[in-house]
Structure 1
Amino acid sequence: MRKETIVENLNAVGERIVTCCNNCDRNPAEITLLAVSKTRPAEDLRIAYAAGQRHFGENYLQEALEKQEALSDLDIHWHFIGPLQSNKSRAVAERFQWMHTVDRLKIAQRLSSQRPKNLDPLNICLQVNIDGEQSKSGIAPQDLAALAREVVKLPGLSLRGLMAIPAERQGISAQQEPFARLASLLQHLREEFPSETMDTLSMGMSGDMEAAIACGATIVRIGTDIFGARNYSA
């Protein structure tokens, strides 16, 4: 994609965030824009970085590691946001700052044991299957608290909050419904585990970002509206 287009798109998304925050009485500084860069070439990430973007989300581990090598001169905050097989957890533990898709204790335990002692704790979100879709990963809402009780005990990890990908809905009111449920789940966790660091709701993408922010999102994961339609055949 042309450099000018990526920069223009980043600016447009930033303006959407500001407008939405103004409409729901929130501070735009509370929102982290996570540029979802899966299938995009490293040069596109470099362009976005030069325009001020620092947080990038990757779904595919091998692709992400190749980009990390190509962009090692940049101070990027790397987020892993895809499903992770337990036998590939070490690379995430060693090379990322955030992991958004923890949905079972085994993965958390491996990330904990494999996180290098010289690094800050790995920030993690527990992924909730908020709509109970069989096609999506995530823990069931009723099982969330039990998982959280075990995860908070693990060294090398910082449980920051929750992540979800709701079923697609039309209209902002319908979109807000699952986001409001996720926000309520986080509030219950905060009451059981008081912590200044359990502050994250990773929710909202290009098509439902406004609804997510209105319901308390702190990280919005935006790909298409920054980098354009993805090319999965490349």
Structure 2
Amino acid sequence: MSSIADNIGSVTRRIQKATLQAGREPGAVRLLAVSKTRPAEDLREAAAAGQIAFGENYLQEALDKIEALSDLPDIEWHFIGPIQSNKTRQIASAFDWVHSVDRLKIARRLSEQRAPELGPLNLCLQVNINDEDSKAGCSLDDLPDLAAEIGQLPNLSLRGLMAIPDPDQSEAALRLSFRKLANALSQLKQNFPDAGPLDTLSMGMSGDLEMAVAEGATWVRIGTAIFGARPRKD
């Protein structure tokens, strides 16, 4: 069985190869280790192998890990799950990035509850790129107005967009989904130059990271290829 360190090395090489093949600058794509349901010991092993950024979906589980790994000050914590209004204060305080904001109410609460001394909270807007009823995210039609309003909020840095495309699409349709998100970000940069850095595309997972990198991903969110398959729930 491969170790977590071996898996990180393998995924990193995949990212590097895909980046080179896409003609992009080395280091243009970062690895976000999706560590939901994984014990803190697994994250510690990954950190020892040089992994810095970890993505968590469940707040209480994440807070427990943040406490358990508080002796590792270089870890960068990303919240990538759905956000309930009653959870925004803790998210605003404990995380460096949030990838899953899809409405103004949540962004306002994160802005109000982020302590200025922590620096701006990096934020991506989640887009429901395939208009799936079961998926969170704003629509492409609503995106420009939402980005314009969020870009004016203090204590936030609007970095870009995130999407979780339908995994059951054909390869051609999946590539088109990634391209649509990249085009949406380019349009936001053009229309709202003062909204934020707008330099981030959070897209691509274990099975499709090469395609996502080719279409402009700057973060790829990888869980299974690093930590193995998650145990089935009873």
Q: TM-score w.r.t. structure 2 length?
A: 0.96
Equivalent position of 1:225 in the other structure: 225
Please list every run of 5 or more consecutive structure 2 residues that lacks an aligned counterpart in the other structure: none
Distance 1:12-1:76 versus aligned 2 partners, 3 A rule: same
Equivalent position of 1:32 in the other structure: 30
Shift of 1:203: 0.2
**Aligned pair 1:23/2:21, yes or no?**
yes
RMSD: 1.4
May I ask how many residue pairs the two structures share in their alignment?
232
* Worse-matched range after superposition: 22-31 or 171-180: 171-180
Please list every run of 5 or more consecutive structure 1 residues that lacks an aligned counterpart in the other structure: none
Distance 1:177-1:99 versus aligned 2 partners, 3 A rule: same
Confirm or deny: 8 A CA contact 1:17 1:28 kept in the other structure: no
Confirm or deny: 8 A CA contact 1:131 1:178 kept in the other structure: yes
Equivalent position of 2:147 in the other structure: 148
Shift of 1:73: 0.6
Identity among equivalent positions (%) equals 59
Shift of 1:172: 4.2
Shift of 1:231: 2.0
Residues in 1 aligned to 2:232 and 2:117: alpha-carbon distance in whole angstroms = 36
Q: TM-score w.r.t. structure 1 length?
A: 0.96
SS in 1 for 2:197: coil
Confirm or deny: 8 A CA contact 1:124 1:159 kept in the other structure: yes
How does 1:1-234 map onto structure 2 within 5 Å? 5-74=3-72, 75-169=74-168, 172-194=171-193, 197-233=197-233
* Worse-matched range after superposition: 168-177 or 211-220: 168-177
Residues in 1 aligned to 2:101 and 2:67: alpha-carbon distance in whole angstroms = 25
SS in 2 for 1:118: helix
Shift of 1:169: 4.1
Confirm or deny: 8 A CA contact 2:144 2:188 kept in the other structure: yes
Deviations 1:60-107 (A, max 9, x none): 000000000000011210000000101110011000000000000000
Confirm or deny: 8 A CA contact 2:19 2:28 kept in the other structure: no
